[in-house]
Structure 1
Amino acid sequence: MTPRDPKAGIRELLHELCVDLGFCLPPHEQQRLQEAPPTDADSFADAVFAAEGMDPGHHTQLWHQVRERIDRRVHG
């Protein structure tokens, strides 16, 4: 069995965030997150918000939705 490509998992996550929650990051931001993904769900959610130019402190409910998707994707 071949190990799963971590970059493919990040691509799938970013696609899900775009389609379901409207976080459609520019290609260079997607590439950056694929090359050096944050190590925990909180940091990843913060990075997604930063890439969108949004302050997570002003969108706490949405931040929690993003974080939940990330956590679900990472931990199954």
Structure 2
Amino acid sequence: MTKAVFQLEPLTCPTCVKKIETALTNQDGVDMVKVLFNSSKVKAEFDEKVVEHGELETIIEKLGYTVKGTKVS
């Protein structure tokens, strides 16, 4: 399982959390998603054989959020 933390531009509303979590959780290969509203971070665990972290970034950006940086481990 691969872990990634996506740093976003500041989130402006708590409903953003649910929107991002739902979109990423519905992606094949994603095991866990947690959005931290106060720090504007998205933590995800996923199977990189099924989905790459770049694809998750794309999903977040298509929702209208800017990814400032990503740490993958």
Give the alignment's TM-score, normalised by structure 1: 0.47
Rg larger in structure: 1
Structure having the larger proportion of residues in helix: 1
Q: Please report the TM-score for the alignment, with normalisation by the length of structure 2.
A: 0.48
Structure richer in strand, relative to its length: 2
RCO higher in 1 or 2 (8 Å CA, sep ≥ 6)? 2
